[in-house]
Amino acid sequence: MPIDWSENIAIAELADEPELSEEFAAIWGRLNDGAAPGEVPHLVLNFSGVTYLNSSHLAQLLRMRKRLAELNRHLVLCSLGDDLWSVMMLTGLDKLFRFASDPLTALAGLQLEEAGEERG
């Protein structure tokens, strides 16, 4: 289950199966529990504990991205190893998702965007 890092940002620490599918299901449930746009946080997914993604995982990531976009929220994937990065590049998803090198960079980027939106 994603942990609320701040009022507007949640982070999920991911691991290989079977935990990965369980975590994705929990995230999807949170995104679709009838929450209003302002109630759903931006989401950072930390892949440091994941070594493999299958087509079902990729489809779930795409659904999460779409749902968050509908709610005017961002999804950031971070700490992808070489094998996962290769999957993203081969499928063209490297052009679709936002990435960060590590969770702190992802969190900082989202916070800076939020600060800019509040000023603007």
| 72-93 confidence digits (pLDDT tens) | 999 999 999 999 999 999 999 9
Under a CB-based contact definition with an 8 Å cutoff, are residues 5 and 39 in contact? no
In DSSP terms, 100 is beta-bridged to 78
Q: Can you give the pLDDT at residue 22?
A: 95
Nearest CA-CA partner of 45 in 108, 86, 114, 98: 98
Q: Can you give the pLDDT at residue 120?
A: 57
- The structure's pTM equals 0.92
Where is pLDDT greater, at 4 or 20?
A: 20
Under a CB-based contact definition with an 8 Å cutoff, are residues 72 and 37 in contact? yes
> 113 pLDDT band (50/70/90 cuts)?
confident
Q: Can you give the pLDDT at residue 78?
A: 98
Average pLDDT of 81-110?
96
Under a CB-based contact definition with an 8 Å cutoff, are residues 39 and 30 in contact? no
Token digits of residue 78: 């971070």
Nearest CA-CA partner of 2 in 33, 38, 26, 34: 26
- HSE toward the beta carbon, residue 48, CA cutoff 13 A: 11
Q: What is the pLDDT of residues 27-68, one digit of tens each?
A: 999 888 766 666 789 999 999 999 999 999 999 999 999 999
What is the 8-class DSSP label of residue 2?
Answer: P
d(CA 10, CA 17): 21
